[in-house]
């Protein structure tokens, strides 16, 4: 008696998966299984962008980091087969990857027969190129640095790349930054990155065994006491007409609340999706007037494509800030689906961005209102799936917030327009340190695109830094000072991150991945230094543009004279 094998056990070749993606299928590799996420795309509580950035990739580490075991089990419903051997990532379509259609029976010389064995060697990627097939960027052979056949240096750039950057100081700087990263971080060959991934997964098991994923609920009891004290003090000052003091205390209340909302958004409190989401909605929407759903959609993408100028919304602040000269090219944001124009306004602001950094962040909360309303009222939130009702609870929360804050306090409890203005501005500007903390861990870090072969843990440590502070100041930073640890293990409760930092330091020593950590003052200097450096490049960019224009004019005049 024979039984037919399940379609879930079908073995898919790399070439067949490329063909599926060429047809528009959303294919992700998870634990050696092939996931077709098309049906789940509109219902994903974290938004569709996070899925799109994983298409064609092995998303095992990213998915494990951001999802509960229950969510991972749910993904098994979308399994259509499996792969054999080590998977080599494609460049996702949303990031510019191109894919060739596949016709069954079509002869193809992609050297697939040799891939299953060769993928274990450093030179496997070079076997993916196909001189007889149509060109495809996803099959371009990697450079010598990634194959591990040469020492990292500027000579690892191709001849075409060298020719392109030779006369362009902006491109020369970007090339130097990439070369510096290649010198500083472990090789991108499969052996090195595979060892890092193995150590990363071992570390996760150690942290679970040590109980670091268990929530210390007593710590949240202390947090709640602090919240009640700040809010009650604000109301008391309001009662006695100390409007500036009342606004400052309310701002501190919001500042502290965000830390717990952040935990809830990552399911770091009860680890139950709906319970933690409701906690986040109560804190963010009902008490703070901000959408936790918007934040999760934005923040999940940030955790996947950290510090990528084209893809990470947390560093896309044009026309006010640019932390890389790549923004001078008027990049298209895949998150906002628009061109980030490097126009005259952007040139003017970015040339002074190191002076504007703190003043602009003082007004950051007002922009968060706008983004929250766009998410809730312009159809960005999921309309079906397990999170469909969260949007309506959030909208209710917005009405409750503006009822107690906008009407009850600002309009009814403060008599004059000037006092209202002072109260609103101070309450919102006091939250500025939060925006400084959010940008602090990333603005000074690498924005280099190291390609699809860099492992998840190395990318997180390359693009994120920690802030060193005394343990008694942890409540001021709210866990955001451990961003490197958090990016590696986002669902660990923030009160356990200091313990987790010990494990991560050891992991970095064993793997050779640098661990970036600065004091708060030094970190701010690093950020301001990066902003000033990019500001100086604006002048270089303008000089290059004018020189090119002169050359064009002189070339035309020379041609006309002949």
Domain identity same for 357 and 246: yes
Structure tokens at 371: 């983004």
- For the chain, give the longest Cα–Cα distance: 89
- pLDDT at 3 (0 to 100): 47
Average pLDDT, the chain: 86
- Structural domain includes residue 537: no
Domain identity same for 75 and 220: no
Helix (H, G, I), strand (E, B) or coil at 132: coil
Residue that finishes a domain, picked among 75, 95, 115: 95
Q: Which residues pair with 333 in a beta bridge?
A: 338
- Structural domain includes residue 386: yes
- Structural domain includes residue 130: no
- Structural domain includes residue 530: no
Show Cβ contacts of residue 116 under 8 Å, excluding neighbours closer than 6 positions.
Answer: 84, 85
Structure tokens at 471: 């343990």
Interval 523-559: pLDDT, tens? 999 999 999 999 999 888 877 766 665 665 555 555 5
Interval 29-59: pLDDT, tens? 999 999 999 998 888 888 899 999 999 999 9
- 2: phi then psi, degrees, rounded to nearest 5: -115, 150
Domain identity same for 390 and 255: yes
Rounded mean pLDDT, 268-272: 91
- Structural domain includes residue 91: yes
Domain identity same for 262 and 397: yes
- pLDDT at 1 (0 to 100): 42
Rounded mean pLDDT, 416-445: 93
How many Å apart are CA 463 and CA 516, to the nearest integer?
9
- Structural domain includes residue 172: no
How many Å apart are CA 61 and CA 80, to the nearest integer?
20
CA 267 to chain centroid? 17
In CATH, what number is assigned to the domain containing residue 35?
3.10.120.10
CA 410 to chain centroid? 36
Q: Structural domain tally of the chain?
A: 2
Task: Cite the DSSP H helix spans in 240-363.
Answer: 243-265, 273-281, 292-304, 344-350, 353-361
- What is the number of other CB atoms lying within 10 angstroms of the CB of residue 14? 23
Q: Which residue has the tokens 């076997």?
A: 127
- pLDDT at 235 (0 to 100): 97
Residue that finishes a domain, picked among 66, 95, 124: 95
Q: Are 322 and 328 in contact (CB under 8 A)?
A: yes
Tell me the residue range of the domain where 26 lies: 11-95
pLDDT at position 360 over 90:
yes
Domain identity same for 436 and 327: yes
Nearest to 56 by CA among 24, 11, 8, 79: 24
- What is the number of other CB atoms lying within 10 angstroms of the CB of residue 532? 15
Q: Which residue has the tokens 């009650």?
A: 232
pLDDT at position 205 over 60:
yes
- Structural domain includes residue 179: no
- Structural domain includes residue 363: yes
Q: What is the DSSP letter of 91?
A: P
């Amino acid at each position: 008696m024979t039984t037919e094998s399940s379609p879930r056990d079908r073995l898919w070749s790399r070439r067949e998966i490329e063909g599926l993606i060429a047809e528009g299928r959303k294919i992700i590799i998870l634990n050696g299984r092939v996931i077709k996420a098309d049906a789940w795309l509109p219902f994903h509580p974290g938004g569709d962008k996070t899925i799109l950035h994983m298409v064609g990739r092995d998303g095992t580490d990213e998915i494990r980091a951001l999802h509960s075991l229950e969510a991972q089990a749910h993904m098994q419903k979308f399994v259509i087969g499996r792969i054999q051997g080590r998977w080599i990532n494609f460049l996702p379509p949303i990031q510019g990857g191109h894919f060739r259609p596949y016709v069954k029976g079509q002869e193809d010389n992609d050297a697939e027969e040799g891939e299953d064995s060769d993928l274990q060697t450093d030179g496997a990627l070079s076997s993916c190129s196909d001189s007889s097939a149509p060109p495809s960027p996803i099959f371009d052979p990697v450079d010598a640095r990634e194959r591990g056949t040469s020492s990292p240096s500027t000579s690892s750039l191709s001849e075409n790349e060298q020719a392109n950057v030779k006369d362009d100081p902006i491109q020369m700087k970007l090339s130097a930054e990439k070369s510096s990263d290649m010198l500083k971080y472990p090789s991108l060959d499969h052996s090195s990155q595979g060892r890092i991934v193995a150590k990363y997964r071992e570390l996760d098991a150690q942290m679970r065994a040590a109980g670091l994923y268990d929530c210390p609920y007593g710590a949240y009891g202390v947090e709640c006491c602090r919240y009640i004290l700040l809010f009650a003090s604000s109301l008391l000052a309001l009662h006695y007409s100390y409007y500036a003091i009342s606004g400052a205390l309310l701002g501190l209340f919001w500042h502290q609340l965000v830390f717990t909302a952040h935990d809830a958004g990552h399911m770091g409190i009860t680890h139950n999706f709906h319970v933690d989401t409701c906690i986040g909605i109560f804190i963010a929407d009902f008490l703070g007037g901000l959408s936790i759903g918007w934040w999760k959609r934005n923040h999940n993408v940030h955790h996947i494509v950290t510090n990528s100028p084209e893809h990470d919304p947390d560093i896309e602040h044009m026309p006010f800030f640019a932390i890389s000269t790549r923004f001078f090219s008027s990049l298209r944001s895949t998150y906002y689906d628009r061109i980030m124009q490097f126009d005259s306004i952007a040139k003017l602001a970015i040339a002074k961005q190191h002076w504007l950094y703190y003043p602009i962040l003082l007004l950051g909360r007002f922009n968060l209102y706008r983004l929250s309303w766009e998410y809730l009222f312009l159809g960005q939130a999921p309309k079906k799936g397990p999170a469909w009702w969260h949007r309506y609870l959030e909208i209710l929360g917005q009405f409750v917030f503006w009822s107690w804050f906008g009407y009850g306090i600002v309009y009814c409890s403060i008599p004059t327009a000037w006092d209202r203005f002072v109260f609103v501005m101070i309450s919102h500007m006091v939250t500025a340190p939060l925006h400084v903390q959010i940008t602090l861990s990333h603005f000074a870090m690498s924005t280099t695109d190291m390609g699809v072969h860099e492992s998840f843990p190395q990318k997180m440590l390359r693009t994120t830094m920690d802030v060193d502070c005394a343990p008694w100041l942890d409540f001021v930073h709210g866990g955001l000072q451990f961003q490197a640890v958090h990016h590696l293990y986002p669902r660990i409760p923030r009160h356990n991150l200091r313990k987790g930092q010990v494990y991560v330091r050891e992991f970095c020593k064993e793997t050779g991945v640098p661990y970036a950590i600065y004091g708060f003052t030094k970190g701010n200097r690093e950020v301001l230094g990066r902003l000033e450096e990019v500001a100086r490049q604006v002048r270089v960019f303008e000089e290059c543009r004018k020189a090119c224009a002169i050359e064009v004019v002189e070339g035309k005049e020379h041609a006309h004279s002949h």
